[in-house]
């Protein structure tokens, strides 16, 4: 699948993969900062997200193959690959299927283990938004308010609303909500068990429950060259909550 993407700067290639319900422009500010430091930065939309095609086949194997196709299409040599949450799990599957392609890996607030479902309430809220009767972002927000209390989560989701048919005032979600709802359990699975020599940074938020000390120990068994950074005061959205600290930690790793 040919993925939609944004590109910034020149130099060694750095790919950044967003998480569930995200899209490439979530990373615009940081991507531009990395570009100013001498990197050619790509921020693809993973399948069923952003401007990339929708497809009923949705699992980490096909997302890893999408990434492989993207790297080949753009003739990227030794790319650094960073992924947040779902994007990080895509990176783990990619390294298993195509070892030796990436020069470095950065896994942002995601463990290799399987996760219990964590987005049931979000999916219920999203599916309650009926665009046959709702014709404004404000109306959609009112529906989400009935299900979700966290302001940041709601604003993050609402960024995905667009005019599917502006002439007829029809809105829709950019992500493929039907496929995500149907195959959501594919996203919580454990990464394959393998050993990699690729230099890897695992970066987590201090307040996030996604990566525990046990998970760090598991990463030590999977990667022979692994280092860890914990961003103080950050939750799961490390890059959005503490962008300066996040940028500095990643930059130190990729310039080393």
Strands of the sheet containing 226-231, edge to edge, are: 5-8, 40-44, 13-17, 80-84, 104-108, 199-205, 226-231
Task: Read off the pLDDT of residues 82-91 as tens digits, 9 standing for 90 and up.
Answer: 999 999 999 9
Report the C-alpha gap between 133 and 171 in whole angstroms.
10
Active site residues: 85, 236
Decide if 68 contacts 81 (C-beta within 8 A). no
167: confidence class by pLDDT, cuts 50, 70, 90:
confident
- What is the mean predicted confidence (pLDDT) over 53-78? 98
Task: Read off the pLDDT of residues 192-205 as tens digits, 9 standing for 90 and up.
Answer: 999 999 999 999 99
Report the C-alpha gap between 17 and 154 in whole angstroms.
21
Decide if 240 contacts 155 (C-beta within 8 A). no
Task: Read off the pLDDT of residues 204-247 as tens digits, 9 standing for 90 and up.
Answer: 999 999 999 999 999 999 999 999 999 999 999 999 999 999 99
The answer to whether residue 168 scores a pLDDT higher than 80 is no
80: confidence class by pLDDT, cuts 50, 70, 90:
very high
Report the C-alpha gap between 92 and 106 in whole angstroms.
10
Task: Read off the pLDDT of residues 148-166 as tens digits, 9 standing for 90 and up.
Answer: 999 999 999 999 999 998 7
């Amino acid at each position: 699948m040919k993925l939609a993407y944004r590109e910034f700067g020149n130099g060694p290639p750095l790919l950044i993969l967003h998480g569930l319900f995200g899209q490439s422009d979530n990373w615009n500010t940081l991507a531009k900062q990395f570009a100013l430091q001498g990197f050619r930065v790509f921020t693809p939309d993973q399948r069923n997200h952003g401007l990339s095609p929708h497809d009923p086949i949705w699992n980490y194997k096909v997302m890893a193959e999408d990434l492989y196709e993207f790297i080949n299409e753009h003739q990227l040599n030794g790319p650094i690959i960073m992924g947040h949450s779902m994007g990080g799990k895509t990176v783990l599957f990619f390294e298993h299927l195509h070892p030796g392609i990436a020069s470095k890996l950065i896994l942002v607030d995601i463990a290799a283990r399987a996760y219990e479902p964590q987005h049931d309430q979000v999916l219920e809220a999203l599916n309650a938004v009926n665009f046959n009767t709702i014709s404004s972002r404000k109306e959609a927000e009112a529906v989400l308010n009935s299900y979700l209390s966290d302001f940041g989560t709601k604003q993050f989701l609402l960024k995905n609303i667009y005019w599917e048919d502006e002439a007829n005032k029809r809105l829709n979600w950019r992500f493929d909500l039907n496929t995500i709802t149907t195959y959501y359990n594919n996203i919580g699975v454990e990464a394959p068990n393998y050993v990699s020599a690729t230099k890897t940074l695992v970066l987590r938020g201090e307040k996030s429950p996604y990566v525990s000390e046990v998970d760090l120990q598991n990463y030590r068994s999977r990667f022979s060259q692994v280092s860890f950074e914990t961003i103080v005061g950050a939750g799961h959205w490390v890059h959005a909550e503490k962008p300066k600290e996040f940028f500095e930690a990643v930059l130190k790793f990729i310039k080393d």
